[in-house]
Structure 1
Amino acid sequence: MSPRRSYDQYCSAARALDLVGDRWTLLIVRELLAGPRRYTDLHADLPGVSTDVLASRLKDMERDGLSTRRRLPPPGAAYVYELTRQGRDLLPVLQALGEWGGPELGERRPTDAVRAHWFALPLLRELEGEAGLVEVRLDEGVFHLHPGAGDGPVYGDGPAPGEPDARLVTDAGTCTALARGELGLGEAVRDGRVEVTGDGAVAKALREA
């Protein structure tokens, strides 16, 4: 394991970048905000990262107290990576960074990869103040959100585990507009760009927004 590189500046921003400023680190955090992930799953959802770089970043994150590695009990018997409390505390950092970078999305380029759950963070921002389980369906895939979650995962890939408080059916174009800040979730519901079903408090709040 290589020693941690440092800017050697007595500044809190510089110290933070000592930990998360390397290429791919914050995107690994984005993936681990979904909860424990296997190495193969991380590699599949981080297109473009080499196996060597991913392994190196995961070791650095473990060394720096941002994540841990543990072995699942049988029959799984695979290793998974998960964020520590310090790592989970990066959620508002990623949300702020995503909000700042939203206008940079522009039109999707032919070389741009996309995963449905990459829209989880801007949608969580739109659901701030709500609590419950929300399932989101796009043509690109299905994911679920845990707005108001405490120390657990804030989103997950695939259908909701159990009956969600709300189901949202929309498209990537609408999610992109939300990420860019061009559209609010309540406005998207009123305009028919997001279909809301469910009887939970989140569904009712969105229909009444």
Structure 2
Amino acid sequence: MTNQHYGQFCGLARAAEIVGQRWTLLILRDLSVGPRRYSELVTGLPGIPTNTLASRLKELEEEGLIARLAPTAGERAVVYVLTPRGEELRPALDALSRWGAGGMRTPREGEIVTTASITAALRVAAGDGVVPADWDTAYTVRVGDIEAHVLMHDGVITVGPGAAEAPDLVVIAGPEIRDLLAGELDADTAVASGAVQLEGDASLFARFADSLRVPYSPNVPAGA
């Protein structure tokens, strides 16, 4: 994969050799959200050089973390997916995402959200994904042109890219949704302040706000 070896018989060192290169974790994040064509990865990773993407995909395939699926009928492009070995990284990716989000209060200049980034963020916020069994609610979360869905059904939260098929509530949000997920804004204040806008049954927003949580780290400066 890489000529960078740490010279230690250590699981963390070996993992760093495989996933520690620039862009690798974000490629894995995008594939953890769902299968992706090469062109979809390029779109979802603005700024990545195409030669770097091609190299990283080849390296991850050689390591057995991803695989290429041959085009199906009507398709012309291969699709990249995580292998079972790659899926084993999902908890680590989510843990790193939660840790990083603990220090994120406002976007830095030029930072954007993508379908994979907002989906992964909501997946992390859902935590263990357990809600009361009698909740049966579909949410679409919209940030600019990006949409993801949050479904509460049979006591479980599931998160995925794209709008819900028949959302009970659409949550239209900007960067201030970060304060809501951190628990620094309650549902009523988030709506009253304009941090979020709602379309649909607004009474369902409280359970959304109560069920998804990524707190700020107490050790991060307020201006971070």
After TM superposition, the score normalised by the length of structure 1 is: 0.75
Equivalent position of 2:79 in the other structure: 80
Alpha-carbon separation, structure 1, partners of 2:2 and 2:197? 48
Equivalent position of 1:175 in the other structure: 177
Deviations 1:7-54 (A, max 9, x none): 221222112112211111110011112211110110111111101100
User: How big is the shift at 1:98?
Assistant: 1.8
Deviations 1:138-176 (A, max 9, x none): 23421224679xxxx9522x323x335x53413122333
User: How big is the shift at 1:177?
Assistant: 2.6
Alpha-carbon separation, structure 1, partners of 2:142 and 2:38? 25
Alpha-carbon separation, structure 1, partners of 2:79 and 2:163? 21
SS of the residue 1:113 aligns to: coil
User: How big is the shift at 1:96?
Assistant: 1.6
> What fraction of aligned residue pairs are identical, expressed as a percent?
32
Alpha-carbon separation, structure 2, partners of 1:208 and 1:118? 19
Matches within 5 A, 1:127-166: 127=126, 128-130=129-131, 134-145=139-150, 155-156=160-161, 158-160=162-164, 162-164=165-167, 166=168
Equivalent position of 1:41 in the other structure: 40
Q: Which 5+ residue runs of structure 2 have no aligned equivalent?
A: 211-224
User: How big is the shift at 1:208?
Assistant: 9.4
- Could you tell me whether the CA contact under 8 Å between 1:115 and 1:141 is conserved in 2? yes
Change in CA separation of 1:11 and 1:88 when aligned onto 2, cut-off 3 Å:
same
Change in CA separation of 1:54 and 1:69 when aligned onto 2, cut-off 3 Å:
same
Change in CA separation of 1:67 and 1:129 when aligned onto 2, cut-off 3 Å:
same
Q: Which amino acid aligns with 1:143?
A: A
Alpha-carbon separation, structure 1, partners of 2:184 and 2:90? 22
Q: Rg bigger for which structure?
A: 2
After TM superposition, the score normalised by the length of structure 2 is: 0.71
- Could you tell me whether the CA contact under 8 Å between 1:147 and 1:154 is conserved in 2? no
- Number of residue pairs matched by the alignment: 194
Q: Which 5+ residue runs of structure 1 have no aligned equivalent?
A: none
Alpha-carbon separation, structure 1, partners of 2:42 and 2:93? 20
Q: Which amino acid aligns with 1:101?
A: G
Change in CA separation of 1:155 and 1:7 when aligned onto 2, cut-off 3 Å:
farther
Deviates further, 85-94 or 187-196: 187-196
Deviations 1:70-125 (A, max 9, x none): 12212112111011122222222222212221244343333323325422223223
